[in-house]
Structure 1
Amino acid sequence: MSVSDPAGHAPTPAGRSRHRSETLTFLFLTIFLAPFLAVAFVGGYGFLIWIYQIFTGPPGS
């Protein structure tokens, strides 16, 4: 009995393939996509502040 199959059925090749696909998708999202998006959002926000300050001046001026 496997953890992913509570009914106790033996895993099928299609089930193993789906599990591998889900694992690879999870790894892609956590190792590549999440850090890329985090850097992109922080960099984009910093860029927007920089452009805003070019037109309005630094805070307190």
Structure 2
Amino acid sequence: MPPETLETGQRKREALTFLILAVLIWPFIAVGVVAGWGFIVWMYYLFTGPPGPV
């Protein structure tokens, strides 16, 4: 294989990998982190009560 063909194939693979990460994986990770944080706060309030004067 000539070097140009190998470089083009590698660029296509890298672009596809980037698109999969950017469009599919990272949004799910972001939603999971936000949902996890919300769950932690919810559990904290469940055990300690709501904030503010009682």
Which interval holds the TM-score relative to the shorter structure?
Answer: 0.7 to 0.9
Q: Aligned equivalents of 1:39 and 1:55: distance in 2?
A: 24
Give the Cα–Cα distance (whole angstroms) in 2 for the partners of residues 24 and 13 of structure 1.
Answer: 17
For normalisation by structure 1, the TM-score amounts to 0.75
Large movers: runs of 4+ above 2 Å: none
5+ residue gaps in structure 1?
A: 1-10
The count of residues paired between Structure 1 and Structure 2 equals 52
Unaligned segments of structure 2, at least 5 residues: none
Q: Deviations over 1:22-50 (max 9, x none)?
A: 10011011101111111011000000000
The structure with the greater share of residues assigned to helix is: 2
* Root-mean-square deviation (Å): 1.6
Q: With the length of structure 2 as denominator, give the TM-score of the two structures.
A: 0.83
